[in-house]
Structure 1
Amino acid sequence: MKTWDRTLTAAGIHGPRLRDDYTRQRSLVAAYRRHAYVAVRLLLPAEVVPHVIAATAFMHHTDTLLDQGAAEAGNAAAEDAAAWEKEVADALASGESGHPVLRALLHTVSVHPRMKGHIEEFLAGASLDRDFTGFADEAGYQRYVDAYALPAFMLVACLLLGPDTGAGTDGAAGSRALCRAYIDGSQRLDFVNDLAEDLRDGRLALPAEALERHGVSRADLERGRDTPGTRALLAASLDRARRDLLASRRLPGFAPPAHRAFIRAFVSLEVLTADAALRKGVALFGGPARPAVPAALGVLLREYGRRGR
């Protein structure tokens, strides 16, 4: 694994300010998704690492602003989210920005032009997250996946998948379907795993229809009640998430060989998280589940060894 300075150089990132911009994004990503950051650094070629980090940092920054805007609609946070969407659109149109997140992103777009369309698609669906009030049913959740979660994931996926998966090819349809399976499972897993934090913020992302089917009220979830209904609700949601994650395991076949170890790892790590959440059950009301450190390290080391061979 190259040092960070050598990684930036290998990716063709020169100039003190631009290198500093990417370094800032690296710090942000390492702080909030440590295991994902380690996987990126360990398993991806140096020339793509800063670009994956820039895309991830942009996605996280945007998602944070949108979540704050949803929680405080009509207040400064909502205005900040709308202002950010305009700032991103203006930056894409002009190719310039004074914001370090966007300066790094714009450079990445200049190296990987097809990302621009994914950014625009992501922004087009931003209102669903910013104005989120909950899902009435499974169909509402699936619309959210199509309009917001999948475009968000494609910001990174477009850097990892081969150029032959561009629009209009059979490969594009196959890879996008697998990307959708992955993000459907990953997003559902996040909504269950982050249930305690979301409820503290006044946000409930499990469909009302699912609560009704299991005889669970919002108050049951907010008070962390251990009932047959809450246990069944959590288990059913996590089982479905796990099935979708497992269905995405063919995704590495659409990527260049140098990227396959990383893709296998991030799918495996999500499955491990789903397994940990299933074991935790109603204890998720106290906080999210995480994969056991030895198991997560085992995935990374196994894929690192396969990459070396």
Structure 2
Amino acid sequence: MSVPPHVRPLLAASTLVVLEADARVDEGPHEQRFERFEEWIDAWYAALASGSSAEPILHAAAHAHRVAPVKPTRVLMEQAFSVLRWDLDFREFPTYADWKAYAAGSAGATMVWALCMQGEYGESGERIIREYGYMAQMVDCLADVSEDARDGRVYLPLEDLDRFGVRREDLEAGRWTPAMADLVAFELARITDPMPAVLEMARAHPWMYPFCSALDDYIRHLCTAVSEAGSSLMRRVAVPPTGPMVRGGLGLWRSAHATSL
């Protein structure tokens, strides 16, 4: 809803390439996930080379890339896919810098890839979108912390757990502790503190601004959901309320529709 109507099919098709790859990493028998994932990536590059595919998503995405104002590079696509391979062979993140390298591909590269469908964004535009990628990935890690811990995975930087004295056994047992409350508050501040400055930078890119505004609104609602979850964060995934998300989406849709007339 945050992009003009003629862009939406292109953005949806390109995004679905990554979403389907992600689904193959997360779903189905574990012993088949790597093979199914690599099959999809190979099929995507074949569709990209030929311009068509018998698979509807890949066919639509190949068309989207053919007409995109900015051609996504192979390096950018590989950055997005490399993070999914990381999830197949999961390794934890000793430092925030290690986590940020993961987030650069997980959310950052995927968002930049989607942005290619709309127009030239430049170096500063890419920096803005990657900043939103870091924010979105961190709040997602916080929202899903209990679900990930039950699967034996800790996505938060280990140095942050050590800094606040959060014990792995408490995470895996779903115990809410004062240390965990302090860690969540710290990570939320790490997200929300730079948000006004990043959104202000986006104003210099008028066609990007609605897209960034949508990201900003979504991330803020999810941060609020994480903050308000409190101890229940250790039992369930934090989800923002539907009403504000729908109202925000409709406002963006009206704006994009009016601009295209």
**Both structures adopt the same fold (TM-score exceeding 0.5):** yes
Question: Which of the five TM-score ranges fits, normalised by the shorter chain?
Answer: 0.7 to 0.9
Q: Which residue of 1 aligns with 2:205?
A: 254
Residue 43 of structure 2 corresponds to residue 93 of structure 1: no
1:142 to 88, 100, 113: 100
Structure 1 segment 1-309 matched on structure 2, within 5 A: 40=1, 43-68=2-27, 72=30, 75-112=31-68, 114-117=70-73, 118-123=76-81, 126-160=84-118, 162-163=119-120, 165=121, 172-249=122-199, 250-256=201-207, 260-303=209-252, 308=258
- Alpha-carbon distance, 1:301 to partner: 4.6
Distance 1:305 1:179, change over 3 A: same
- Alpha-carbon distance, 1:206 to partner: 0.8
* AA in 2 matched with 1:150: G
Q: CA separation in 1, counterparts of 2:240 and 2:106?
A: 26
- Alpha-carbon distance, 1:274 to partner: 0.7
- Could you list the per-position Cα deviations for residues 250-287 of structure 1 after superposition, in whole angstroms to 9, with x for gaps in the alignment? 3253242xx64343123212112112211212311222
- Could you list the per-position Cα deviations for residues 129-169 of structure 1 after superposition, in whole angstroms to 9, with x for gaps in the alignment? 43222211112111112344321111212224x42x3xxxx
- Alpha-carbon distance, 1:63 to partner: 1.7
Segments of 5+ residues of structure 1 without an aligned counterpart are 1-39, 166-171
Q: What TM-score does the superposition give when structure 1 sets the normalisation length?
A: 0.73
Q: CA separation in 1, counterparts of 2:12 and 2:33?
A: 25
Q: CA separation in 2, counterparts of 1:305 and 1:292?
A: 21
- Percent identity, aligned pairs only, is 28
- Could you list the per-position Cα deviations for residues 145-200 of structure 1 after superposition, in whole angstroms to 9, with x for gaps in the alignment? 2344321111212224x42x3xxxxxx22111111110111000001101122223
* AA in 1 matched with 2:53: S
* AA in 2 matched with 1:178: I
- Alpha-carbon distance, 1:82 to partner: 2.1
Q: Let me know the Cα RMSD of the aligned residues.
A: 2.5
Q: CA separation in 2, counterparts of 1:64 and 1:243?
A: 32
- Alpha-carbon distance, 1:292 to partner: 2.8
Q: CA separation in 2, counterparts of 1:95 and 1:61?
A: 19
Distance 1:124 1:78, change over 3 A: closer
- Asked whether the 8 Å contact 2:139–2:223 carries over to 1, the reply is yes
Segments of 5+ residues of structure 2 without an aligned counterpart are none
- Could you list the per-position Cα deviations for residues 17-63 of structure 1 after superposition, in whole angstroms to 9, with x for gaps in the alignment? xxxxxxxxxxxxxxxxxxxxxxx2xx432211111211222221112
Q: CA separation in 2, counterparts of 1:252 and 1:57?
A: 28
Distance 1:151 1:306, change over 3 A: closer
* AA in 1 matched with 2:228: R
* AA in 1 matched with 2:111: F
* AA in 2 matched with 1:254: H
Q: What TM-score does the superposition give when structure 2 sets the normalisation length?
A: 0.85
Indicate the structure whose relative CO is greater, using CA pairs within 8 Å and at least 6 residues apart.
2
- Asked whether the 8 Å contact 1:199–1:222 carries over to 2, the reply is yes
